[in-house]
Amino acid sequence: MESEARYVRIGLATLVLIALLVLGLYWLAGANSDQGGERYLVYFQNQSLEGLQISSDVRMQGIKVGRVVDYAIIPGQGHKVRVLLQVDARTPVLEGIKATVARHLVTGLAAIDLDNPPQAAVPLTAIPEGERYPVIPEGVPQFTRVANTLEVLGASGQEALSRFNAMLSDRNQQSLTGSLANLNAVTRELSQAMPELRAAVASAKRAADQADDLGGEAKTTLKTANESLVKVTGATTATLTMARTTLDHVDREVSGLSGQVKLTADLAGQEIQSTAQSLRLAGDALQETGRALANPARVLYGPSPKSLGPGEKLQ
């Protein structure tokens, strides 16, 4: 009797274990798949789905909110992939939401990021005709936007560099060098003149202050100046008369000096003429004397009868 009872207890335990095993397998196999969630379709045609797998994460604001349920390349449209997502029912999926593929740089595993529009909108519930679930539009990934931005920035930079190169042509460089040199010279001169400018400004300020101070005294001063001017006029007339006299005297002196110079030059010229003439005559006389001495017989014996002039005779 005891052995039959043991057999019953062993059989019941085995059935319990089998039931627990079935329940565990069911739980493991997809109890979550039937959990409360909404399914959405996404058609990707501009982004690579490399690294995307069934059950890959679906995230929103960096938080996992769902998983990839299925994906398939649409026949006849090689660049278009249909991806089925299951998103937690508590997650707000609004009109204008975008779906992008995010890829881990190290593991290469991909996930789907959902990005709601910034402004408030109604939940996405509309199901397009011919579809079983609402369709989330494909968005532009951040990396692509950065790349596009970089591409645009690169194009703009290239254009800027081209213009910069054009701006830095040899001629412009020469002009720029000249301008810089001129600017340097102007700066140096300005620096040198800075003390004078400061002094001028200070002087102008003082003059302005003095002008303000003198404003009240101007009337008195003008009156005094008028009186002084009358006196100065008289003195000026006398001074001008004296100056005219002085100038006349100077003119006479200059004229006299000019006459003296002219006289000296004239007399010197006369002396030179006379001296030159005397030298010439002396030379001629010397030559004549030498010619006379060339005949010593005449010196010793006197003139010959043949050289006597008309009416002359030797005694």
Partner 1 sequence: MKKLFWLLPLIWLSACSGLPGPAQPSTYYVLTDPGPVEASPKTLPGVLLLREMDASAFYQEPRLAYSRIPGTRANYEFAYWTELPAKRLTWLLRQRLEAAGTFVAVAPLSGGVVGDYQLNTRLIDFYHDAATPPGEVLLLVEAELVRRDRGVLLGRRIFVSQQPVAAFDAAAAAEAMNRAANQVLDEIVAWLGEANG
CB closer to partner 1 out of 131 and 271? 271
Which residue, 94, 92, 101, 96, is CA-closest to 140?
101
Min dist. Cβ of residue 250 to partner 1 (A): 24
Query: Which of 70, 192, 284, 295 contacts partner 1 by CB under 8 A?
Result: 284
307 binds partner 1 (CB under 8 A): yes
Stretch that binds partner 1, among 32-40, 121-129, 143-151, 305-313 (CB under 8 A): 305-313
Min dist. Cβ of residue 275 to partner 1 (A): 8
295 binds partner 1 (CB under 8 A): no
Which residue, 88, 93, 94, 114, is CA-closest to 36?
88
CB 95 within 8 A of CB 123: yes
CA distance readout (Å), 299 to 71, 286, 295, 308? 161, 17, 7, 15
Residues 264-283 that bind partner 1 (CB under 8 A): 266-267, 270-271, 273-275, 277, 280-281
DSSP code string of 176-241: HHHHHHHHHHHHHHHHHHHHHHHHHHHHHHHHHHHHHHHHHHHHHHHHHHHHHHHHHHHHHHHHHH
CB closer to partner 1 out of 241 and 277? 277
Query: Which of 36, 78, 195, 311 contacts partner 1 by CB under 8 A?
Result: 311
CB closer to partner 1 out of 120 and 299? 299
Min dist. Cβ of residue 256 to partner 1 (A): 14
CB closer to partner 1 out of 172 and 277? 277
CB 130 within 8 A of CB 37: no
Residues 214-273 that bind partner 1 (CB under 8 A): 262-263, 266-267, 270-271, 273
36 binds partner 1 (CB under 8 A): no
Rounded distance, CA 95 to CA 123, Å? 6
CB 90 within 8 A of CB 107: no
User: At residue 37, what are phi and psi to the nearest 5 degrees?
Assistant: -170, 165
Read off the tokens for 312.
């002359």
209 binds partner 1 (CB under 8 A): no
296 binds partner 1 (CB under 8 A): no
DSSP code string of 128-170: -TT-SS-EEPB---HHHHHHHHHHHHHHHHHHHHHHHHHHT-H
DSSP state of 91: S
The H-assigned helical ranges of 31-87 are: none
Please tell me whether residue 57 adopts helix, strand or coil conformation.
strand
Min dist. Cβ of residue 306 to partner 1 (A): 10
Say which residue the tokens 């494909």 belong to.
138
Stretch that binds partner 1, among 43-51, 64-72, 81-89, 300-308 (CB under 8 A): 300-308
Min dist. Cβ of residue 255 to partner 1 (A): 15
Site string for partner 1, 128-167 (x = CB under 8 A): ----------------------------------------
Given the rule CB under 8 A, which residues bind partner 1? 262-263, 266-267, 270-271, 273-275, 277, 280-281, 284-285, 287-288, 300-303, 307-315
